[in-house]
Chain A
Amino acid sequence: MIHLWLPLTLVCVLAGTGIYGVMARRNAVLVLIGVELILNSANLLFVTMGSVLDDKLRTGHVLTLFLITIAAAEMGVALAVILALFRDRGHIDLSEPGS
């Protein structure tokens, strides 16, 4: 038995923290860390609902597995883009205009 306000509050805090991380950082890799936090808040919401709702298809847990896979693929592509950006500009500061 668990009170649902605990995981839901953590979902809200993680999403807000991730938004702050995306907006307050200039380094592209640190922006990516904020994106990961937002994704994980969505994951936690899926798992919470999957664990407390009596669903025959186990949608919450299965979709979380899918989302983790998609996040891994997204990280791979994002890393490649950041490396291409670094080779092109010599820095990955997102607040400076490109050449």
Chain B
Amino acid sequence: MTTLDILFGAVGLVVAASAVLAVTTEHLVHAALWLVVTLGTLAGCYLILGAELVALVQLLVYVGAVVVLVLFALMLTRAPMGRSPQQNSSAVQRIAAALIGAGTTAMFAAVLLPALGGELRPTIAGDTKGIATQLFGAWVWPFELLSVLLLVALIAALAVSRMPSKPDSQESAVPETLAEVMSA
């Protein structure tokens, strides 16, 4: 066991435990807060693996923005405070979900661990300058495409949230066209 092993084991245990709590807790807001713990400690995992830039971006974007979006969604949909067991599926479905989740874990483990699990590798130091050089060199077109994607997502989110919930004119228009299609 190396020092990095012990550090990663300790932080990874927190990640795994908080992830399990995030999907099993019956408090809606607690699920979002456990997600904060999961994502924050995962940034710590990235730090241990030597990826400082990714860890910082994870903290800024995920913990800073995505979790706030989740909390906003919970508030705007009038999530009940306190325990709400009706948010979980029936016991049968939960057992099936646990089986499938365990099966997925076993499948990934069966693929990844025999292939790479036994290796002891040195981690490459952060090298933020190298990442920046590659990001704005070899990866610059995917990077620009990503900014277009963000713009499209912004406009799409605006359009979807401003969509009228009961469009009377469209609702009457659609059956007409359908009827026309059926009669044709």
Contact = CB atoms under 8 A, between A and B. Distances in A.
Nearest to A1: B2
27 contacts: A1-B4, A4-B120, A5-B116, A5-B117, A6-B5, A6-B9, A8-B116, A8-B117, A12-B105, A16-B102, A16-B104, A16-B108, A18-B23, A23-B100, A24-B88, A26-B89, A30-B31, A32-B73, A37-B35, A40-B42, A43-B42, A43-B54, A47-B45, A69-B61, A70-B146, A72-B65, A77-B153
A47 to B, nearest CB: 5
Q: Range of interface residues on chain B?
A: 35 or more
A79 B104 CA distance: 27
Nearest to B76: A83
B166 to A, nearest CB: 8
Contacts of A79: 69, 72-73, 157
Q: Range of interface residues on chain A?
A: 35 or more
Contact of B23 (A20, A26, A54, A62): A20
Contacts of A69: 61, 146, 149-150
Contacts of B74: 29
Contacts of B53: 61, 65
A29 B160 contact: no
Contacts, number: 273
Given A3-B2, A51-B49, A68-B54, 9 more contacts: A2-B5, A11-B108, A12-B112, A17-B19, A19-B101, A30-B28, A33-B31, A47-B46, A51-B124
Contacts of A84: 160-161, 163, 165
Contacts of A20: 23, 97-98, 100-101
A83 to B, nearest CB: 5
A23 B154 contact: no
Contacts of A22: 97
Contacts of A17: 16, 19-20, 22-23, 101
Nearest 5 A/B pairs, CB to CB: A16-B105, A21-B23, A20-B101, A23-B97, A73-B153
Contact of A83 (B77, B134, B153): B77
Interface in B111-162: 112-113, 116-124, 127, 130-131, 134-135, 138-139, 142-143, 146, 149-150, 152-154, 156-158, 160-161
Nearest to A92: B77
A27 B57 CA distance: 28
Interface string B70-108: 101110110100000011110001101110111111101
Given A6-B5, A21-B22, A62 B135 contact: yes
B65 A26 contact: no
